[in-house]
Amino acid sequence: MAQLNADSCYIFTDTETTGLDINFSQIIQIGSLLTDESLNEENTQDIGCKLLPWIVPSPEAYLVHKKVESLNEDSMSHYEMMKLLRSTWLEWSKGRNPVYVTYNGHRFDEELFRRQFFWNLLPLYMTNTLGASRLDMLSTLQLVANFFPDSLNLPIFDEEDVSMKLTDWSQANSIEIENAHDALADCVQMHELAKLIIERANPVWRASVKGSSKTGNFEILQSEPFAMIGEVVRRKKFTYPVTFCGQNPKMNNEVAVADLYFDPDQLEDLTDSELLEQIGNSGTAIRKVRINKSIPVIASDQIPDLEKYLDIPHEQLIDRARKVRENIKLQTRISELLASNQINYPPPKYLEQTVYSGFPSDADDLWMERFHTLPWEERSKVLDGFEDTRYKELAERLVCANNPESVKHETMSRYQNFLNQRLYDKGPWPSLEKTLDKTRSMMIDATDEQKEILKRLEKNLEKKSEFIQSL
């Protein structure tokens, strides 16, 4: 159960991966940094693992992060790394409510964590259940750039363009960067920037912490007299005064806010189809936001010298916000339109894409627990116990990759077919042959250091090819 009255702690975390596809890339390094609620450092963890047999890594990724140790067969397995990560985070947050802090994590790192907990039959939603919440510092720094620009040194390019790269913010604020593109080093950068924000732009940090939960985000969007969204898109700053104006009853994480630069009186007489045209993600009178993710939003009364960030008079915005809040009929119409115009996506084609295709049954939860407690040589005997075929297939992959001698012939045959598919078939994943060709061609113009990395990668890919051919 959530520790509602417990102290908070912060867990800054970052990953290095084999590529950028959240469904088919593998985490190979995870850095974590634990602090108390005052951001005093308490502990760190730096763990990595070897490549999974079916993962073809991007040579471009390896030239950036240089994590060649993941190419060693004697490195920790991916399964053991994810188990160790979970146990560490649980230990760190015991008796406290953890806030998991990432940078652009809601689009990338958080999605990777969920998928790779899923791959390993571990609970998916560790970072937003049982008292945990999620803070994406990309949103935090967007608020700083827009509403507290004098509190930190902004990484400015071409006179007014603001970079949103973590390393650029660190360099601009004299934060020492060691081992760039290292997961733990990125955690240190986030931690140092967070301390500066607390000291120099405290309202932004308070808003970010509050917005790390769905409830908190919802409260900020409903704040009076109104809220302010501050975004940086393609290095350009954009600000919007907004107030709540609807919520999808079928998917309550989707909330609508009225952009108060648009006159709400003009919305009243629109037909449903016309009103629907005004509902979008940007540039429309009504914006859709997801309250289960970090939003660069802050209550307007928390911004000093607010008037200089407004395009129309403050009093006019207050009046418009009041009209929207009092117009229950309009809110109801918008909520209904959100519900009736949801996008129906096609069913996932591959197992990795089914991470959100239903929760495990109680029976499967218990079966997973049993799976984890058994020695590897015994786990092949419980594969047929899963009700959901997703978990059976994932369990088969784990046993075949970690203890192949224990599995039946038909199980190993299915696994070999899977390896062939992932390494040689055309799909949303990188192919072995094309990646091997690309790796060799990149060596031509590479530096000596880059050549060494590419040679290590080439050797790994050749071994994969030889292994498949020997099956």
Calculate mean pLDDT across residues 279-283: 83
DSSP string, 3-27: -TTSPEEEEEEEEEES-S-TTT--E
Say if pTM beats, i.e. exceeds, 0.75: yes
Per 3-state DSSP, the chain is made up of helix, strand and coil in percentages (nearest 5) of 50, 15, 35
Which whole-number Å values give the CA distances from 432 to 312, 329, 439, 453, in the listed order? 57, 57, 10, 17
Strand-strand pairing, 286-290 and 161-162: unpaired
Band of pLDDT at residue 471, cut at 50, 70 and 90 = low
**Which of 188, 184, 162, 165 minimizes the C-alpha distance to 175?**
188
- pLDDT, tens only, 65-122: 999 999 999 999 999 999 999 999 999 999 999 999 999 999 999 999 999 999 999 9
Band of pLDDT at residue 178, cut at 50, 70 and 90 = confident
Q: What pairs with residue 258 in β-bridges?
A: 243, 286
- pLDDT, tens only, 369-413: 999 999 999 999 999 999 999 999 999 999 999 999 999 999 999
Which whole-number Å values give the CA distances from 370 to 259, 376, 401, in the listed order? 52, 12, 19
CA-to-CA distance for 143 and 230, rounded, in angstroms?
A: 5
Could you give all domains of the chain from N- to C-terminal order, each with its CATH number? 8-202 (3.30.420.10), 211-340 (3.30.1520.20), 352-470 (no CATH)
CB atoms within 10 A of CB 298: 26
- pLDDT, tens only, 117-130: 999 999 999 999 98
Lowest-confidence segment of 116-125, 151-160, 336-345, 449-458 by average pLDDT: 336-345
User: Cβ contacts of residue 2 below 8 Å, gap of 6+?
Assistant: 97, 130, 131
CB atoms within 10 A of CB 129: 11
**Which of 284, 262, 275, 295 minimizes the C-alpha distance to 341?**
275
pLDDT at 1: 39
Chain center to CA of 61: 18
Band of pLDDT at residue 470, cut at 50, 70 and 90 = low
Angle, helix 137-147 to helix 202-210, in steps of 10 degrees? 140
In degrees and rounded to multiples of 5, residue 35 shows phi and psi of: -130, 165
Calculate mean pLDDT across residues 253-282: 93
Helices (H), 93-156: 109-119, 137-147
CA-to-CA distance for 68 and 452, rounded, in angstroms?
A: 10
DSSP 51: P
Q: What pairs with residue 47 in β-bridges?
A: 30
* Element of type H or E holding 247: strand 236-247
Contact criterion met (CB below 8 Å) for 93 and 11: yes
DSSP 356: T
Which residue shows structure tokens 């075929």?
A: 389
In degrees and rounded to multiples of 5, residue 326 shows phi and psi of: -85, -10
Band of pLDDT at residue 2, cut at 50, 70 and 90 = very low
Contact criterion met (CB below 8 Å) for 101 and 12: yes
Contact criterion met (CB below 8 Å) for 51 and 428: no
At 470, which amino acid appears? S
